[in-house]
Amino acid sequence: MARPVTLGMINVMLKSESLAERRTQLLKDVDDAGKQGCNIVMLPEYADHHKTNEAYAAHSKGFEQVLAVNGLTLKSPFMQELSGLARKHKMVVIPDVLFLEDNRRRNSCVVYGPEGSVLGLYSKTHLAPGECKQVEAGDSLKPIATPFGKLGLSICYDVQFPEIPRVYEVEGAELLLWTTMRQCEHEDGQFRLILPARCIETGLPLGVATYVTEHQRIGRKPMSSHIYNALGQVVAGGSHKGGVVRGTLDLDEVNLERRSWEQPDWVNASSYYRRQRRPDLYGALTRPLSDEEKNPDNEKAIQKVDNYNPSL
């Protein structure tokens, strides 16, 4: 029996604009996704402010100004409008924001349900270099239950850790969602190789919400919002313009594995792999880090690139 779910991964054309312009466009995109019948809509990482004019100005004045300009709470007008759109279209809406709550600041996905209420929250668990100076890391990899399936969320740098989707799969997630900024040097490998592999390894579909730039269009780079099925095949994506990347997945579609080489019948590969796990062999993944491993001074630069420009 099929369990279709329609995703709307917002694809943001990254350009110089004001906070008001960016947020107005995002709200329009989310509304459009609802009108197109999307069940789950996800925005790119920090989409409400990333590289806007005000964000640039705030960064030049220090992180406290960044918090004042970019930080959001559940009571912020932009968040309340997203909640309203979730309620209007009876869908799940997931913004990723610089989230301020209980004197904490985190890079967080807030999951609004079809009634406009918060179903759960995921905070980035693995922080990118230097990010620990700005936000706190999250500490949970529990799937978030929604009317359209249990979601395993990850943010940007989290993608470097294959343990995350595996934990989600073991914990019962039915759909992986990744929200991110641009990945620069890693884009080609991740979008062509790593992301489809995550689906094949876990037997779970994956939705990606990110940005696209004029430079990527000219250079024919693969970075843009995508939707993959459980087989690692592209259902939708690759658009080099802003808007909604829409695609429908069947959550009952699974990878298959032969029960044995002697028998012709096939079984659910994900459940088979889970049964074949050997936790007694995986202790190295969960042992505490040694003092030497924790010391950033041990990370010596092995190459310097002249005229490095991370915006390209």
How much is the pLDDT for 2? 87
Of residues 27 and 303, more confidence is placed in 27
Instruction: Return the residue matching tokens 């040694």.
Output: 290
Phi and psi torsions of 275, nearest 5°: -70, -25
Instruction: Return the residue matching tokens 């559940």.
Output: 74
Residue-wise pLDDT for 36-69, tens only, equals: 999 999 999 999 999 999 999 998 998 899 999 9
Please check the confidence at residue 239 and state whether its pLDDT lies above 90: no
Please check the confidence at residue 293 and state whether its pLDDT lies above 90: no
How much is the pLDDT for 294? 82
Could you tell me the pTM of the whole model? 0.94
Find the angle CA(144)-CA(146)-CA(150) to the nearest 5 degrees. Answer: 50
Give the amino acid at 233.
Answer: Q
Provide the token pair at 249.
């997945």
Distance from chain centroid for Cα 115 = 23
- Angle of helix 163-170 relative to helix 195-202, nearest 10 degrees, comes to 30
> pLDDT category, 222, cuts 50, 70, 90?
low
CATH class of the 4-294 domain in this structure: alpha beta
Domain ranges of the chain: 4-294
Mean pLDDT of all residues in 285-302? 83
Mean pLDDT of all residues in 146-167? 96
Instruction: Return the residue matching tokens 């918060």.
Output: 118
Instruction: Return the residue matching tokens 């992301």.
Output: 195
Residue-wise pLDDT for 253-282, tens only, equals: 988 888 888 888 999 888 888 888 999 999
